[in-house]
Amino acid sequence: MTIGAASRRVRVMGVLNVTPDSFSDGGRFVDADRAIERAIALVARGADIVDVGGESTRPGAEPVTAEEEGRRVIPVVRTLASAGVHVSIDTLHAETAIAAVEAGARTVNDVSGATFDQDMLHAVAAARTPDGAAAYIVLGHWRGVPDPAHQRSEYADVVTEVVDWLRERAEAAVRAGIASDRIVLDPGLGFDKTGAQCWELLRRLPELSALGFPVLVGASRKRMIAETLSGVPEAARAHPGLEHERDLATAVVSALAARAGAWGVRVHDVAATVQALAVEAAWSGGQDCARQTAAQQADRITLTGLEVFAHHGVFDFEREQGQRFIVDAEVRIDLRRAADGDALGETVHYGELAEAIDAAVRRDPVDLIETVAERAASVALGFAGVQAVRVTVHKPDAPIGLPFADVSVTVERSARGAAR
């Protein structure tokens, strides 16, 4: 994950509610097969992340036990993760978070800022995906389950108070053992905030970004959008092709959030937001932006000669006996912030990178080193700030009946082409 104002780097998180009672699409995807089909469609339309939720946090929603929540979401998470989708689990429950990460979810999205369940931070710190990667956490601001009467929406200065609260939650996450480069902050639009307060948070979004963490904006289809559109003629609010009358306005918010420096946007209608971000990126393009992009692409960290013993191959004896695989990995990342502050959290820890690639390569046997290379590239893209990777997997002991020095496969992947 990376912080930046350029909208081509803004991550699109597609919403997948596996619930019967969510406010805008409750019940549509409660069936696991339909939910998986929906998630694949979201990815096809441009979602970098699919945020799977099994409990509604709309005002008046019935609480759901962790057991019921897990029953709804874990089969969906496992299937999507095994298909290579970056899955985020939207949950208030540490038990669900652990189960989802163990099933392959790479991000835990807790709208309560990990205050609802006191075990959440330690659970996320300890949880590991099947390939051994640590989980990311999104910490949202709230004062409790949304209150439509706004009984908890009194702020002296909503931006200052939200920023201070999220700073404290991020510090708590670090104390619990979550690496700072695995923390994302969400101002919690709609959670005990009036529409005016939500717009004020968006206007002053750089103040939240100044904390140094990626910022996720989730305004999709919320009441603040409906209130803003209340003065628009009804005929102008309904457009063929849009799933919901608030989706067009949501896409505009996404583009403006990108311009304000948001790391990501959480939306229901992925296609509309992807188009809006493309337009904003074209509008913002220019020589300064191009120079910045070139500089970022020039920065790289290279790990070569990582030797891993694994049991991949087409032949039975290869899988039984195993053999050496040599991995070279190059990650492209903007290193200026790391160099300016001598800050480990702003770069890639190459020891952790090596361990993550090692775990990915040693995983369950496959026929092709192409598959192994794809795994390693996916793992490397999961590190914060990585924009692109180049991975080469060598098989020096391959069963070839002629003299040869080496055989290898190289793949190049970008963060936009994969989910992170």
Give the Cβ contact number of residue 299 at 10 Å: 17
List b or e across 42-69, with b for residues whose CB sees 16 or more CB atoms inside 10 angstroms. Answer: bbebbbbbbbbbbbbbbeebeebebeeb
For the annotated catalytic residues, the residue numbers are 222, 266
